[in-house]
Structure 1
Amino acid sequence: MLHVRSIWNGAISFGLVSIPIKLVNATESHSISFRQIHTEDGGRIRYRKVCELDDREVSQAEIGKGYEDADGTIIPITDEDLAHLPLPTAKTIEIVAFVPADRIDPLQMDAAYYLAAGGAPAAKPYTLLREALKRSQKVAIAKFALRGKERLGMLRVVGDAIAMHGLLWPDEVREPEGVAPDTRVTVNDKELDLADALMDTLGEIDLEELHDEYREALEEVVAAKAAGEAPPEAPEPARAGKVLDLMAALEKSVRAAKESRGEQPEEAADVRRLPQRKTARAAPKQTAGKKSTATTKKTAAKKTAASAKKSTSKTAQGAKKTTAKSTAKNAAKSTEKKTPEKKTTSRKRTA
Structure 2
Amino acid sequence: MPRPLWAGAISFGLVTIPVKIVSATEDHDVHFHRVHLADMGRVRTRKVCELDGEVVSQDEIGKGYEIAKDQTVAVTDEELEQMPLPTAKAIEIAAFVDAGTIDPVRISDSYYLAADGQVAAKPYTLLRKALQRSSKVAVAKFAWHGRERLGLLRIREGAIVLHSLKWPDEVRSPQELAPREVEVGEEEIEQALQLAERMTIEDLSGFHGEYREALENIIAAKSEGKPLPSPAGEGKQGKGEVVDLMAALNASVKAAKESRGENGEDATVHEMRPSKKTSRKTTAKKTASSKGTAAKKTTASKKTAGKKAASKRRSAS
What residue is the counterpart of 2:39 in the other structure? 41
Q: Please report how far the alpha carbon of residue 205 of structure 1 lies from its aligned counterpart in structure 2 after TM superposition.
A: 4.8
Which 10-residue stretch deviates more, 103-112 or 201-210? 201-210
Q: Secondary structure at the match of 1:51?
A: coil
Q: Secondary structure at the match of 2:247?
A: helix
Matched, 1:239 2:240: no
Alpha-carbon distance in structure 1 between the residues aligned to 2:82 and 2:232: 60
Deviation string 1:282-320 (CA, Å, 9 cap, x unpaired) is xxxxxxxxxxxxxxxxxxxxxxxxxxxxxxxxxxxxxxx
The structure where helix makes up a greater share of residues is 1
Q: Secondary structure at the match of 1:208?
A: coil
Q: Secondary structure at the match of 2:162?
A: strand
Alpha-carbon distance in structure 1 between the residues aligned to 2:208 and 2:157: 23
What stretches of structure 1 of length at least 5 have no aligned partner? 266-351
Q: Please report how far the alpha carbon of residue 230 of structure 1 lies from its aligned counterpart in structure 2 after TM superposition.
A: 1.2
- Alignment equivalent of 1:85, drawn from 80, 83, 86: 83
What residue is the counterpart of 1:12 in the other structure? 10
Q: Secondary structure at the match of 1:130?
A: helix
4+ long deviations beyond 4 Å? none
What residue is the counterpart of 1:215 in the other structure? 212
The number of residues matched between the two structures is: 265
Deviation string 1:308-335 (CA, Å, 9 cap, x unpaired) is xxxxxxxxxxxxxxxxxxxxxxxxxxxx
In the alignment, residue 208 of structure 2 is paired with which amino acid? H
Structure 1 pair 94–238 and aligned structure 2 pair: CA distance change class (3 A): closer
Q: Secondary structure at the match of 2:189?
A: helix
What residue is the counterpart of 1:26 in the other structure? 24
Q: Secondary structure at the match of 2:205?
A: helix
Alpha-carbon distance in structure 1 between the residues aligned to 2:235 and 2:134: 50
Q: Secondary structure at the match of 2:194?
A: helix
Alpha-carbon distance in structure 1 between the residues aligned to 2:201 and 2:216: 29
Alpha-carbon distance in structure 2 between the residues aligned to 1:137 and 1:44: 52
What residue is the counterpart of 1:324 in the other structure? none
Alpha-carbon distance in structure 2 between the residues aligned to 1:22 and 1:217: 37
What stretches of structure 2 of length at least 5 have no aligned partner? 263-267, 270-317
In the alignment, residue 105 of structure 2 is paired with which amino acid? L
Alpha-carbon distance in structure 2 between the residues aligned to 1:5 and 1:203: 37
Alignment of 1:163-242 (within 5 A): 163-182=161-180, 184-240=181-237, 242=241
| TM-score (norm: length of structure 2) | 0.79
**For the Cα contact (< 8 Å) 1:243–1:249, is it kept in 2?**
no
Q: Please report how far the alpha carbon of residue 219 of structure 1 lies from its aligned counterpart in structure 2 after TM superposition.
A: 0.9
What residue is the counterpart of 2:72 in the other structure? 74
Which 10-residue stretch deviates more, 232-241 or 130-139? 232-241
What residue is the counterpart of 2:136 in the other structure? 138
Q: Please report how far the alpha carbon of residue 99 of structure 1 lies from its aligned counterpart in structure 2 after TM superposition.
A: 1.1
In the alignment, residue 142 of structure 2 is paired with which amino acid? F
Alpha-carbon distance in structure 2 between the residues aligned to 1:73 and 1:60: 22
Q: Please report how far the alpha carbon of residue 260 of structure 1 lies from its aligned counterpart in structure 2 after TM superposition.
A: 2.9
What residue is the counterpart of 2:114 in the other structure? 116
Q: Secondary structure at the match of 2:42?
A: coil
Alpha-carbon distance in structure 1 between the residues aligned to 2:235 and 2:62: 54
In the alignment, residue 102 of structure 1 is paired with which amino acid? G
**For the Cα contact (< 8 Å) 1:12–1:21, is it kept in 2?**
yes
Which 10-residue stretch deviates more, 84-93 or 63-72? 63-72
Q: Please report how far the alpha carbon of residue 203 of structure 1 lies from its aligned counterpart in structure 2 after TM superposition.
A: 2.7
Q: Please report how far the alpha carbon of residue 8 of structure 1 lies from its aligned counterpart in structure 2 after TM superposition.
A: 0.6
Alpha-carbon distance in structure 2 between the residues aligned to 1:171 and 1:235: 42
Which 10-residue stretch deviates more, 170-179 or 64-73? 64-73
In the alignment, residue 242 of structure 2 is paired with which amino acid? V
Matched, 1:105 2:139: no
Q: Please report how far the alpha carbon of residue 54 of structure 1 lies from its aligned counterpart in structure 2 after TM superposition.
A: 2.1
Q: Please report how far the alpha carbon of residue 204 of structure 1 lies from its aligned counterpart in structure 2 after TM superposition.
A: 1.6
Q: Please report how far the alpha carbon of residue 128 of structure 1 lies from its aligned counterpart in structure 2 after TM superposition.
A: 0.8
Alpha-carbon distance in structure 1 between the residues aligned to 2:190 and 2:120: 54
Structure 1 pair 166–32 and aligned structure 2 pair: CA distance change class (3 A): same
Alpha-carbon distance in structure 2 between the residues aligned to 1:51 and 1:181: 49
Alignment of 1:276-295 (within 5 A): none
Alpha-carbon distance in structure 2 between the residues aligned to 1:81 and 1:193: 60
Matched, 1:53 2:47: no
